């Protein structure tokens, strides 16, 4: 029996952000698409999930969040007090694509240092 996986990459937008209407709207749509597709594709042994990181220290993340003026207010909202590193997001992706998550479908996994807990 074939077991397939579909993984979306969405931002951590389960919390609304001011001045980010289009960004939050489109990322929120990906979360709903994840859940809906999990319902529709589950009977075909296809698992559907998404990974939802907050700020990730990619080249673009470093450029956009390198000043204390911009970063400090966001870091104050993250209980772990730091932004995600690329390898931490990759680890979550590897888990969701592996057989170790064989009963996981329809979730949006935050990789956010506790941002959504606030």
User: Where in the sequence numbering do the catalytic residues fall?
Assistant: 23, 27
Cβ contact 114:81 at 8 Å: no
Structure tokens at 60: 């673009």
Q: How far apart are the first and last CA of the chain?
A: 42
């Amino acid at each position: 029996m074939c077991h397939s996986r579909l993984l979306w990459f969405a931002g951590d937008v389960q919390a609304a952000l001011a001045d980010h209407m289009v960004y939050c709207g489109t990322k929120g749509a990906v979360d709903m698409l994840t859940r809906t597709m999990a319902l529709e594709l589950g009977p075909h042994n296809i698992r559907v999930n998404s990974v939802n990181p907050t700020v990730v220290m990619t080249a673009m993340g470093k450029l956009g969040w390198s000043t204390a003026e911009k970063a400090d207010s966001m870091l104050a909202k993250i209980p772990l007090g730091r932004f995600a590193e690329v390898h931490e997001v990759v680890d979550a992706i590897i888990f969701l694509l592996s057989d170790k998550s064989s009963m996981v479908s329809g979730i949006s996994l935050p990789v956010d240092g506790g941002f959504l807990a606030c």
